[in-house]
Structure 1
Amino acid sequence: MPTVTLGPGAPYELNTPRRQYRQRIGALARRIHGWTWQAFPIGMGTSAVYVTMSGLKQRSSTMIAVETIFFFLNFALFLLNTSTLALQAVLYPRQAKRLVTDPTKNIFVPLVVLSFATLIIGTINYAVVPGLMDPSIVYGLFWVYVTLSIGVSFPLLVIWFWKPHDIKTFTPAWAFLIFPMMLVGVVAFNVLKTMDPADNRAVGVLFLGYFFQGIGFFVTMFYICIYFLRIMMTGFMDGHQARPSFVACGPPGFTALALINLGKRARDILPAHGLVSQSAGEVWFSASVVTALMLFGLAIFLVVFGALPYWFKLHKHLNEILGCWALTFPNVGWISTIGALSDVLSIPGLADVQVIFVIMIGFLWLILFTLTIVAFKRGLILCAKDEVVIKDMEEDMEKKEKEGMV
């Protein structure tokens, strides 16, 4: 009886007239087949630690060293996720296609772009600012990010809207499809930190930052409105749907942060190029601060609104731990905005509040990372069942036989 191997550790036997696979699939094969785009929030939660820490006004050399460690850990997680999903596309194309085309699963695909954004921010803070990397590289990365955000968001939005969806199953995580565009403004003001205001390229980065931040924020606001409509109809989200409640605070929080920092850059860039008017920079900055303050209030409301029922509605199962990482990265925006408002409004007490929340993010990361490791070792997450892997193998073999390849 011949034996063939498809994928790592996945032998199967060919019987006549019907193939029968051995009911024993290698652990590596189950991991590769069971990997999903939902693994990226682990890295994004890791980036939440160093991004919030980098926003503190006073940072010691020890703190910067800790931030750098988290940055490299995030980079390692990014490589792990992308390489594993690439292997999945080669070895188990049916599963890979399923994750991208299924409207219930593809909402997590844009998270790879969001993870790339956190790597750009980390590269600026820990490589360009210290003088270890040429700033022009970051300008190129900005355009790569803009291209990825458009190239990923629009096709997935078309796939997702191709079929109707029940509002009673709505969760704020559906807004992930537009999140990459919503973070262009955040990436833009970080890139502008490395550029001379008199540089003509700075004008394009500034305008694109505002442009895409507007697109991302207003479209995600439509999702937030649907979120309120849904809970009006069904009450607070329950069970596994309660996990992404904090995603709703991300758009107003990040937009508030982007507006303040883009406004700061506009004060220097617009006058340097004689754009709009002599006072345009100050006007843009003032308008950005007022708008950011209002959005900051909305973000705080959504945080409290999501936190109050969270513990009572959440299913406390380790196999759902990946969704709990939404407790970290959506909160980065409003936490960092606290520090930005502290500087702009000259309220030193806000800086102390910011420190408290940064510490909370650190402890939250430690808890979630520990629970994620436990769930991973027990095979509760990112691991497919034997019969699921076998079914995909059988269907792949049948397809190859029909095409005359076997």
Structure 2
Amino acid sequence: MLALSSHTNLFGLSLPLVHAQNMKKDDWEAGHTHAADQKLRSADALSRVLLYERLKHFTWAWYTLIMSTGGIALLLHGTPHQFRGLDVIGKIFFLLTVVLFICLTAGITYRFVATPPALKTSLMHPTESLFFPCFLLSIATILANTAAYGVPASGPWLAVALRVCFWLYAAITAISAIVQFFALFNGARLPIHSMTPAWILPIFPAMLTGTLASAIMPSQSPEQRLPMLVAGVTYQGLGWIVASLIYPLYLGRLMQDGLPAPAMRPGMFIAVGPAGYTAVAIIGMSRSIPSDYGYFATYPLAEQVLRILALWISLWIWCVAFWFFGFSLMAVLAAATKWKLRFSMAWWAFVFPNVGFTLATGSIGEEFESEGIKWVASAMSICLVIMWFVVLIAQVVAVRHRKILWPGRDEDRR
């Protein structure tokens, strides 16, 4: 799990000595792991930790598994080059996403029931709370997959249900983005030198409203598409602008302190997500503009103009995702070649942010009718599927070897 320093009260002072002390307190070389200031159980005590005790250590970061699995399902549905049976594989990933969501929700619910203060603590904690949006993002992923795989095989009732869920999701994510950032501003005191792209996560659910709109709009009537289009563009703009305001903090941290510790570097890929999903959203929504209805009946040229603008703006934004992807990949490879990477839930950032980047690449290729770009997107899709299996195996091994889901790990740092 990505981790940030939260236990220093010297934030805001710029003296070199204070900065050095903060770096030591944050255990920078250890990668800010949540177990950095915990005394872990000794080897002779390992067998005495029962399963129900381990379940008390589920954190919100586990929902990155759901986001990644559902992202692969969307990727298989949207990849430019389809083959017979790919749709079935995509449905398997979708069903697996739903099953995992139920299991993880049951696990984290048990944690909160077994330890009553844990829910409030997790939502107020300056580091663990950053991953609460992953729960909302998992719901968005399931809804988008339902639109992709469920609507074609069901009656009109599902389209109505998805529309209701969309507006509920939009309302909840707006409230979540406001309240969570207020809570962070009000008491988190997160020092800039321990900043990671995880700081962007609180705005992600609101931003994914645009992506969700692009997935649901094709199944809606023109009179329903127009308000969803307006809401999707509005929320996507909010997410992209807030992410753009946070990016300078991240780049400033990299300039001042260099690359994150090796254990944190997979989380650098989170910075790829906003640009990738924004490109996917605006291209997708432009394809479902309600022709000859409302505003577009009054201004018939608007549809064509917006379709053109969506493509070229997406191409412009896509380069931002590519740039973040490039140096994040170099940073991870530099750590991997020295065998300094160890598993944390941050590894799922190898998958879910890059799903948006890959879908955006495929959408741009389809709009330009470029086989070259489409094949690049298909190759990226294959790499992401392979990476999903690699990270899943690493997570299973980490659980088995008590690296995660264990006392002194995950959320235990307070």
TM-score, normalised to structure 2's length?
A: 0.83
- Aligned partner of 1:214 in structure 2 is 237
- Whether 2:307 is the aligned partner of 1:285: answer yes
- Report what 2:327 is aligned to: 305
> Which of 156, 159, 163 pairs up with 1:135?
159
Q: Distance in 1 between matches of 2:339 and 2:257?
A: 21
- Letter of the structure 2 residue corresponding to residue 185 of structure 1: G
Q: Which residue of 1 aligns with 2:351?
A: 328
Counterpart contact for 1:37–1:108, Cα < 8 Å: yes
1:184-333 mapped onto 2 (5 Å cutoff): 184-197=209-222, 200-266=223-289, 269=290, 271-275=292-296, 277-313=299-335, 320-333=343-356
Distance verdict in 2 for CA 1:24–1:249, change over 3 Å: closer
| Cα displacement (A) at 1:332 | 1.1
Judged with a 3 Å threshold, the aligned counterparts in structure 2 of structure 1 residues 240 and 26 are, in CA distance, closer, same or farther, namely: closer
Q: Using the alignment, how far apart are the partners of 2:214 and 2:362 within structure 1?
A: 15
Q: Does 1:34 align with 2:57?
A: yes
Is 1:70 matched with 2:96?
Answer: no
Task: Indicate the SS of the match to 1:309.
Answer: helix
The one-letter code matched in structure 2 to 1:225 is: P
- Aligned partners of 2:210 and 2:233 also within 8 Å: yes
In the alignment, does 2:192 pair up with 1:167?
yes
Contact 2:272–2:321 under 8 Å retained in 1: yes
Aligned counterparts of 2:294 and 2:166: Cα–Cα separation in 1 = 21
Larger RCO, structures 1/2 (Cα 8 Å, 6+ apart): 2
Q: Deviations over 1:220-275 (max 9, x none)?
A: 11111211111111112223332210011100111011111112222xx1532244
Which string of whole-angstrom CA distances, capped at 9 and with x for unpartnered residues, describes residues 140-183 of structure 1?
11112212212322221111111332111100011101100111
Give the Cα separation in 1 of the matches to 2:75 and 2:109.
31
Given that 2:200 and 2:246 are in contact with CA atoms closer than 8 Å, whether structure 1 keeps it comes out as yes
Contact 2:81 2:374 in 1 (8 A): no
CA RMSD of aligned residues (A): 2.3
Q: Distance in 1 between matches of 2:330 and 2:295?
A: 49
Any idea what SS the aligned residue of 1:152 has?
A: helix
- TM-score (structure 1 length as normaliser): 0.84
Amino acid at match of 1:65: V
Offset from partner CA, 1:340-390 (integer Å, 9 cap, x none): 11121121111111111110011101111111111112222122259x99x
Aligned length: 364
Q: Secondary structure at 1:162's aligned position in 2? A: helix
Percent identical across equivalent pairs? 24
Counterpart check, 1:145 vs 2:145: no
Structure 2: how far apart are the matches of 1:333 and 1:23? Answer: 40
In structure 2, the CA distance between the partners of 1:120 and 1:317, relative to structure 1 (3 Å rule), is farther
CA distance in 1, matches of 2:320, 2:335: 22
* Structure 1 stretches of at least 4 aligned residues deviating more than 4 Å after TM superposition: 22-26, 314-319
- Closer, same or farther: CA 316–325 of 1 in aligned 2, 3 Å: farther
- 294-303 or 307-316, which deviates more: 307-316
Q: Verify the 8 A CA contact 1:271 1:281 in the aligned structure 2.
A: no
Which consecutive unaligned segments of at least 5 residues does structure 2 have? 1-44
**Structure 1 residues 48 and 134: alpha-carbon distance in aligned structure 2, compared to 1, 3 A threshold:** closer
One-letter amino acid of the structure 1 residue matched with residue 301 of structure 2: S
Helix, strand or coil at the partner of 1:381? coil
Offset from partner CA, 1:84-107 (integer Å, 9 cap, x none): 111211110233322111111100
Q: What is the alpha-carbon distance in structure 1 between the residues aligned to residue 163 and residue 144 of structure 2?
A: 12
The amino acid of 1:303's aligned partner reads: F
- Partners of 1:104 and 1:299 in 2: how far apart? 25
